[in-house]
């Protein structure tokens, strides 16, 4: 047995994998604005496996369409049953290379009964770096129907301010590596402040990731950061913990 065949089994049966949902809060740190879906795989032999590991394997072995499709169906079915205003879903750059990605997603949303405006896709800077006509067309088609695009891990890759203008991004998510050093490093504090101001100047929303301490939270709120996500506010939660809007037996 290989990880690859195990992953295929897990995605087919669906009982070893699940999505968790991490709430994202407004600057009052009380209002839940939405949530991010995060995949988890409980392997029967190896236990909990890190998504960065098995998502990478899926990408290498041509299985990202299978994995990504499962994630989108599961996320949309949750969103349809939930009271959350919106749900953010991580997508791999490889998924966006598929020219059918947008129409497949629209079909999934329609089947689930979820409005495109309630789905945000988190993409990484690599997607924009590729700058292929196919990817650009897919992003345009998605936004045309109201799906919003967030740039994940912002600041860690080959960030270019130009991408933010060129590709009509709706939101940038400041990577937790910057948030972690807030308060302890003047440089990081200056970088985060500059990113928050940059987003405001471009009319883009901004989320701070990895908020773990009260000091970080207070600094971000003082800077005018609109959305906060991190263990201080809430860890990723199971479907029943976060609530689906429907009663679920314990």
Of 125 and 152, CB closest to Mn ion: 152
Q: How far apart are CA 149 and CA 106, in angstroms?
A: 15
Q: Residue 157: CB partners within 8 Å, gap ≥ 6?
A: 124, 125, 126, 129
Binders of ligand G among residues 168 to 207 (CB under 6 A) are 176
Of 230, 130, 134, 128, nearest in space to 176 by CA:
230
At closest approach, how far in Å is the CB of 12 from Mn ion?
25
Query: Cα 111 from chain centroid?
Result: 21
Of 172 and 249, CB closest to ligand G: 172
Q: How far apart are CA 120 and CA 137, in angstroms?
A: 17
125 lies in the binding site for Na ion (CB under 5 A): no
227 lies in the binding site for Mn ion (CB under 5 A): no
The residue behind tokens 């314990």 is 250
153 lies in the binding site for Na ion (CB under 5 A): yes
71 lies in the binding site for ligand G (CB under 6 A): yes
Helix, coil or strand: residue 231: coil
Interface pattern 72-111 for Mn ion (x via CB under 5 A): ------------------x---------------------
Of 167, 231, 225, 237, nearest in space to 199 by CA:
225
At closest approach, how far in Å is the CB of 50 from Mn ion?
14
Interface positions with ligand G (CB under 6 A): 22, 38-39, 50-52, 55, 71, 90-92, 122, 152-153, 176, 209-212, 230-231, 236
Contact residues for Na ion, defined by CB under 5 A: 152-153, 209
């Amino acid at each position: 047995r290989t990880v690859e065949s195990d992953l295929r089994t897990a995605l087919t049966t669906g009982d070893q994998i699940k999505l968790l949902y991490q709430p994202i809060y407004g600057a009052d740190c009380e209002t839940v604005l939405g949530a991010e879906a995060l995949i988890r795989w409980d392997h029967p032999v190896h236990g909990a496996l890190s998504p960065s590991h098995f998502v990478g394997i899926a990408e290498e072995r041509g299985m990202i369409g299978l994995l990504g499709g499962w994630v989108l169906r599961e996320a949309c079915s949750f969103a349809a049953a939930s009271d959350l205003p919106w749900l953010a879903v991580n997508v791999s750059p490889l998924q966006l290379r598929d020219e059918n990605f947008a129409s497949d997603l629209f079909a999934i949303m329609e089947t689930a009964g979820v409005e495109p405006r309630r789905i945000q896709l988190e993409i990484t800077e690599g997607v924009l770096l590729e700058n292929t006509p196919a990817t650009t067309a897919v992003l345009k088609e998605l936004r045309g129907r109201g799906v919003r695009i967030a740039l994940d891990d912002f600041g860690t890759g080959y960030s270019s301010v130009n991408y933010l203008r060129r590709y009509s991004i709706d939101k940038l998510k400041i990577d937790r590596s910057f948030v972690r050093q807030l308060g302890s490093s003047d440089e990081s504090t200056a970088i985060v402040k500059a990113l928050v101001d940059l987003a405001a100047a471009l009319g883009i929303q901004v989320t701070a990731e990895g908020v773990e301490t009260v000091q970080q939270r207070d600094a971000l709120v003082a800077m005018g950061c609109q959305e906060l996500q991190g263990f201080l506010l809430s860890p990723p939660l199971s479907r029943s913990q976060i609530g689906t809007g429907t009663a679920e037996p314990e």
